[in-house]
Structure 1
């Protein structure tokens, strides 16, 4: 079971992680199990653990130390048996020094550490990843030699997420099944500041949400369906992108 800790508002992440009982908060109209209960002896993957809110960090530590979870609004703990794998692009040691991440949780998670080099230092791995992304969109899509060279030459400050977003746009633009350099939404220079990437990503997300809301005539439930999101996730994005 996978969960992106940076993708939802704090109370939604808490509910997704630990579950809740009916009446725990506004909109909680039924009991719900969190990911640790749902995994049932399997593995829980927590992406962007460095963005996990402080209250959730303490509750996660309890899961790791005691093997138990307490749903929001519930007084008694429940036993769980799961393996936890976490990932982040942040420097957790620096966050610990700044008191932004719990030191005890950091050492609990740091049992087996795997450091992945940035995409820019992985040579032609970018092409293998690109082909995987394109196959998911349409197995008939392929990269022209010039497009392949363009991908290898880019610095990828946003790493795999940037690559995935660039190829998602390219897949939509390539009408004849061949992706050319002009289909790749990349700057002309090889070096791109990471801040520029994140600004571009926010603009892209804003455009997607605005287009979905316009197509749904402002109906958030329908817009969420078009985007493949829950209505709660869409509402959070609307607030995050200041579209209200």
Structure 2
């Protein structure tokens, strides 16, 4: 089925522009001017990807991004006039997959949506669970299970990075390969997003960044995931 893209922005002109560009690109779209309307629609279906403006009239956009990423497992691209570096960092730390600053070219948004959706497709849909070092990653429900059986939710962004590591254990994964595989625009913004996601994964895996046992940084080159991985 054609991917459904939700557009949440309080400016009608921007909603119309994005909806037209995405529809012409072959996507289904739904648009909302207020967070309450959007959250009501979420009770019926979770979109494949959400474009979220931070400056909403009835809700803080950052808290909505956090809920979408962790509770709903939805991919999120922030579209905002806030160009401050700290706003971008905060959005990525809360689980957003990308951050686009207004004004923007609709063609760029379409390209980033396509890249994000491509990165969500697993290489082998039958490989739903990976077990490693006493842990289990359940990609059918985006959950991480520790050796004691306790589960922690993964965002779509965190899950995509973890899956990339688990499919290539004990091999160097370069930043260039991550950018190619996960989508996004190369540069400081993408590098910062990867740093944030890997930091969050280490925290959830209880992997000491000063002496990592699972995700090892190879400075100037990339990362290596250490361990034996079994898929089912």
**TM class by smaller structure:** under 0.3
Where relative contact order (Cα < 8 A, 6+ residues apart) is larger, the structure is: 2
Q: What TM-score, normalized by structure 1, do the two folds share?
A: 0.26
Q: Which has the higher strand share?
A: 2
Question: For the pair shown, which has the larger CA radius of gyration, 1 or 2?
Answer: 1
Q: Which has the higher helix share?
A: 1
